[in-house]
Amino acid sequence: MVERIKTILLVSVITVLVWVFAEAESLQRRDLRFSLQFVSDAPNERAVQPEESFRGTITISFSGSASAFAPVEEFSRAGPLSLTIGSPGVPASPGEHVIPLRDALRSDQTLRKLGLTIDRVEPPTVTIRVESMEVRTARVVVDVGDSDLDGVPEVSPATVKVYLPTDIAGAVGSTPEVFATLRPDDLSRLLAGRREKVSGVRLELPIALKNKRSVRIEPPTASVTLAIRNRQATTELTGVPVQVRMAPGELSLWDVSIPEQDRFIPKVTVSGPAELIDRVKRGEIKIVASVNLSFEDLEKGITQKDIVFSDVPSLLKFDTETRLVRVSIKKR
């Protein structure tokens, strides 16, 4: 009886294993989505561009054993498929070519190693354009817009390579220019009057080449060393308010007042870097005259005190004919 039970259990285990193996090896069909890019075998000599209607994604219908789909699904999430011009099914000669994607992908060595059959691809074809490339040495020009510079900016590298299709190369001449453009945000971080280096400035093509297909700059960025001119400016303020300041512990002990005619400074001239003066004019930097009363000032009962301009950038300078403000101090 025991031997019979053992035999039944052994047969059951073998049956389950056979079923699992058969299920894993059974033929399945599945659609998987991939990103697809076309790349050049020699980017400096040839460029490839797909038609504008191609969005860079395809759907491949596979068939094969169920166990083979796991690595394919992982592969689809790892990154784009690449079809290189010059590989089977993808011509490298200049001109337009219609690529049957199923045939080209069936020849791809990476996909072939996965052990699945490609039955169908959607879209079935993609039109590509292969172009011969030429190279020009371009001079790098620094562009800072309307900003004033102190001295001549230095750029490194001073020249770069511009790769462009042959059919538009004639329009740019033999010595084109590219631009290292510093935006206002880049310049605002620089200290005026000091020579500083800005790294990683992206290079831009001239207008004649902007938005042109297959044009690229090598290297794409440059470093610029420059100094922003320390521009000074002046503005005149009227009716600048006066406030009293003293230690918090003294507030409940003293009554301090300023005569009405002294509560505003009639005229204050503010000078400093043009950027800060612009902020003063826009009201972003508030100018207030302060009367700072110390414990000794309160105990002595002083009747007037110098004004100061605090809580403002140290680069701002103030000039006014009204230096003293009268105060009335009474102990509670």
pLDDT number for residue 15: 44
Instruction: Give the span between the Cα atoms of 67 and 103, in whole angstroms.
Output: 24
Q: What stretches of 144-218 adopt beta strand conformation (E)?
A: 154-156, 159-165, 177-181, 196-204, 216-218
Q: Number of folded domains in the chain? A: 3
Tell me the β-bridge partners of 160. Answer: 138
Does residue 14 lie in a domain region? no
pLDDT number for residue 330: 92
pLDDT number for residue 170: 79
Q: What is the pLDDT of residues 164-223, one digit of tens each?
A: 998 888 778 778 999 999 988 888 788 777 899 999 999 999 888 887 888 999 999 999
pLDDT number for residue 323: 92
Residue 105, amino acid = L
pLDDT number for residue 1: 52
In a shared domain, residues 119 and 34: yes
Cβ(106)–Cβ(126) under 8 Å?
no
Does residue 9 lie in a domain region? no
Last residue of a domain, which of 226, 252, 279?
226
Which residues of the chain carry a pLDDT beneath 50? 8-24
Instruction: Give the span between the Cα atoms of 34 and 37, in whole angstroms.
Output: 10
Domain with 309, as residue range(s), is 232-331
pLDDT number for residue 26: 62
pLDDT number for residue 38: 95
